[in-house]
Structure 1
Amino acid sequence: MITERTVLGAYFHGTDEAYRVDARAAGLLTHVFYAFATIEDGQPVLPSRAPEHLATLAELKRANPRLRVVLSVGGWGADGFSDAALTPGSRAAFAARCLDLAVDFDGLDLDWEFPVAGGPAEVVHRPEDRANLTLLARELRRELGPDRLLTAALPAGRLQAAGPYDPADSYELAALAEVLDFVNLMTYDFGTGFSPVATFNAPLAEVAQDPLAPELRRWNHVTGAVEYFESHGVPRDKLVLGVPFYGRGFHVAAAGEQAGLYQPQVGDYYAGDWRDIRRDLLADPAWQVHRHPVARSPWLFHPGTQTFVSYEDADSIQERSAYAARAGLRGAFTWHLAGDDDENTLLAAMTRPFQP
């Protein structure tokens, strides 16, 4: 049931020139996260096409007055956070500029990937980032006031750029939860190019056959990530569950007994978004369709090219969103809006469990 606190969100990528948000999609949402402002010389900067996108988003808000549009800052590979958060002066300057940029938005979303460790090696990071992010969030909270949103996208995957990863090493989770209105929990990217085997992007539950080390596997899935964040002080009603509208692919060394699943991977395969997978892969009989009873995810395997693709469809998306509603989470969100098909198949599935 949708309440005033429910979050049904989607990220809209500001560099996507091929997609225009339509009123039907916006009508299913409560929040749109406009991604991304990047950081240059310690200050956030909007995408070059922001004026055009802001006009579109303003039009959608007129059609759907409940819609809240939030400016997301950062993203994978975005540098500059560590310097911006380093001192009281740099934090104050960064917050002031964020407020200037966000004048036409309903709030700010922080997507720092990642403080301390875990992100791309070339991105500046420091041990003190963990505490400095909390201080930066408090500065932003003061500047925004109580009526505008402050959120953050936080990672859940246990394999990142430098290997095994623990979100608590990067974030003061309980302290952040006190400052933020809610957390967009990135319950996807559990299986990426950092994994040695072909595996699922967003498995719902732990699969015993997954060769990942047990201490990592325990948390490297949707329900495990929720339990982990709750155990570290983030209340369930501040967690918004992430669902991916894109796939992850691998070339594998052999098919094995499960059509490529958990086989050693020998290179990434670009699977694209759901709209690409539906059009190009599901329509091609050379791709075999499989579904796992525990991970609750479909996958594709092409025997001729030894290629494995993990993706989510309407059934698996709806199952994850139903879990979020049943477990008392704040709602669900997706990365990213343009990944859906023209019929908004996945977005409808994501929002359906919260509809009256």
Structure 2
Amino acid sequence: MSRFRRSAALAAASLILTATVTGTGEAATPASPPPVSGPVIGAYYAGGNSAEYPVARIPADTITHLFYAFSTIEQGKCVVQPGAAADFAALAELKREHPKLRTLISIGGWGAGGFSDAALTTESRRQLASSCIDLFFGQYRGSFDGIDLDWEFPVYGGPSEITDRPADRRNMTLLSQEFRGQLDRLGRQCDARFLLTAALPAGRLQTDGPYDPAKSFDLRALGRVLDFVNLMTYDMGTGFSTVATFNAPLREVAQDPLGQPMRRWNNVLGAVEYYRQHGVPADRLVLGVPFYGRGFQVRQAGQDNGLYQPYERTFDVGGWRNIQALLKDPAWQQHWHPVARSPWLYNAAERRFASFENPESIGIRARTAERNGLLGAFMWELSQDDAEHSLLTAMSAPFRG
């Protein structure tokens, strides 16, 4: 059967999905999903890079879960970019060759709007979830095993042009419950198990200034609805920061001028602890690592080669392959912080500071995740690694025995 036509079973399931509600008109709260048998070795794959990094190159023997980025929301329904159909066909082929690989469509991403309106009412939530399921498990049947929600962010903290509301926090939970219920009912119809995950933030500075994830998300409730959380333990030092700093420091650094209580949580271990304190079990957390760097044009070197110095502007460092080129350039000197457990580069002539992660620092984070009972690790983004998969190898090693 053509992958562009849904089967009779899927069509029947879709009718059931739109009909099953409680007497109050709200979707019934689904039961918590069973724990995912780990570990999760996750990879986000940017569909817009498929010409440069085709689906066939994905190291499916190493990763366990692939997140295709992104689908977006238009007029309350899931849509995909032109050309995505070819990627989805290639994903279906990749899955046939690697039957243990689980693939999820990631909906949203930074700068993607539509969530607040789509999550606003019972009917709008039902419409969004059913449109996504019809699209990705009907029209593109065989390409995906689940849905990953990447709403950046409910209530506040996202791009200024994106609509947000105080009601978003509750509506994110209700939207997740709607997706959970529809996916579970579809799974019963198809004798399959479909996953629901979400990418949730850790960085404590966003567009509106100081940021608290618990004000955007009911973390305890989401921990009961989602199969697992992709915890974005990166983007902790960005253009929203006041000084040049680390993108993903492992621990709190006393010299970091970021005020408290934000500094306590604006690091990898602090973010994990925060989510656990707010009710997300360790075995439903997947630790994020960045395969890219962040750059700052500082005003002066200071006492520590640009670290924690005010800056004039940010600049794009690029992914690991770009960073490797800088490492070979004598104008850039590499440094290491013993507490943050991260490297950085400093170009004294140009007053440029670059935060990045290398195989050593990513290996440290992955081992930390494994030792603390987390479900696994994931990265943004797969094509930013080198041809030898140096960063992916370091990230996956602790979880591969």
Q: Name the stretch that deviates more: 38-47 or 330-339.
A: 38-47
Q: Does 1:124 align with 2:144?
A: no
Tell me if the contact between 1:131 and 1:171 (Cα under 8 Å) persists in the aligned partners.
Answer: yes
**Which residue does the alignment assign to 1:96?**
130
**Which residue does the alignment assign to 2:206?**
160
Secondary structure of 1:47's partner? coil
Q: Does 1:77 align with 2:107?
A: no
Q: Give the Cα separation in 2 of the matches to 1:22 and 1:196.
A: 41
Query: Could you say which structure has the larger radius of gyration?
Result: 2
Secondary structure of 2:106's partner? strand
**Cα deviation digits, residues 120-139 of structure 1 (max 9, x gap):** 01100000000001111111
Letter in 2 for 1:303: A
Q: Judging changes above 3 Å, is the alpha-carbon distance between structure 1 residues 23 and 272 closer, same or farther for their aligned structure 2 residues?
A: closer
Letter in 1 for 2:201: P
**Which residue does the alignment assign to 2:43?**
10
Letter in 2 for 1:287: W
Tell me if the contact between 1:248 and 1:271 (Cα under 8 Å) persists in the aligned partners.
Answer: yes
Q: Give the Cα separation in 2 of the matches to 1:342 and 1:20.
A: 13
**Which residue does the alignment assign to 1:271?**
317
Cα distance, 1:286 vs. partner? 0.5
**Which residue does the alignment assign to 1:326?**
371
**Cα deviation digits, residues 71-96 of structure 1 (max 9, x gap):** 00000000000000000110110011
**Cα deviation digits, residues 135-163 of structure 1 (max 9, x gap):** 11111101101610000000000000110
**Which residue does the alignment assign to 1:48?**
82
Q: Does 1:243 align with 2:289?
A: yes
Q: Name the stretch that deviates more: 185-194 or 14-23.
A: 14-23
Out of 224, 231, 253, the residue aligned to residue 299 of structure 2 is 253
Stretches of structure 1 lacking an aligned partner (at least 5 in a row): none
Secondary structure of 1:214's partner? coil
**Which residue does the alignment assign to 2:151?**
112
Out of 136, 159, 173, the residue aligned to residue 134 of structure 1 is 173
Q: Give the Cα separation in 2 of the matches to 1:230 and 1:130.
A: 18
Q: Give the Cα separation in 1 of the matches to 2:82 and 2:57.
A: 23
Q: Give the Cα separation in 2 of the matches to 1:154 and 1:310.
A: 22
Letter in 1 for 2:219: L
Cα distance, 1:4 vs. partner? 3.2
Q: Give the Cα separation in 2 of the matches to 1:215 and 1:24.
A: 40
Q: Give the Cα separation in 1 of the matches to 2:282 and 2:235.
A: 21
Secondary structure of 1:62's partner? helix
Q: Does 1:33 align with 2:67?
A: yes
Q: Give the Cα separation in 2 of the matches to 1:278 and 1:209.
A: 28
Cα distance, 1:52 vs. partner? 1.8
Q: Give the Cα separation in 2 of the matches to 1:52 and 1:118.
A: 34
When the two chains are superposed, the root-mean-square deviation of aligned CA atoms in Å is 1.1
Q: Give the Cα separation in 2 of the matches to 1:287 and 1:199.
A: 17
Q: Give the Cα separation in 2 of the matches to 1:190 and 1:27.
A: 31
Q: Give the Cα separation in 2 of the matches to 1:23 and 1:270.
A: 25
- Identity between Structure 1 and Structure 2 (%): 59
Q: Give the Cα separation in 1 of the matches to 2:302 and 2:71.
A: 43
Cα distance, 1:23 vs. partner? 5.2
Moved over 4 A (4+): none
Q: Give the Cα separation in 2 of the matches to 1:274 and 1:59.
A: 28
Tell me if the contact between 1:25 and 1:347 (Cα under 8 Å) persists in the aligned partners.
Answer: no
Q: Does 1:151 align with 2:197?
A: yes
Cα distance, 1:22 vs. partner? 4.5
Secondary structure of 2:81's partner? coil
Q: Give the Cα separation in 1 of the matches to 2:369 and 2:347.
A: 32
**Cα deviation digits, residues 275-318 of structure 1 (max 9, x gap):** 11113x11111000001000000000000110000000000011
**Which residue does the alignment assign to 1:68?**
102
Tell me if the contact between 1:23 and 1:60 (Cα under 8 Å) persists in the aligned partners.
Answer: no
Cα distance, 1:24 vs. partner? 6.5
Cα distance, 1:63 vs. partner? 2.4
Tell me if the contact between 1:23 and 1:63 (Cα under 8 Å) persists in the aligned partners.
Answer: no
Out of 343, 354, 359, the residue aligned to residue 298 of structure 1 is 343
Q: TM-score under structure 2 normalisation?
A: 0.86
Q: Does 1:355 align with 2:394?
A: no
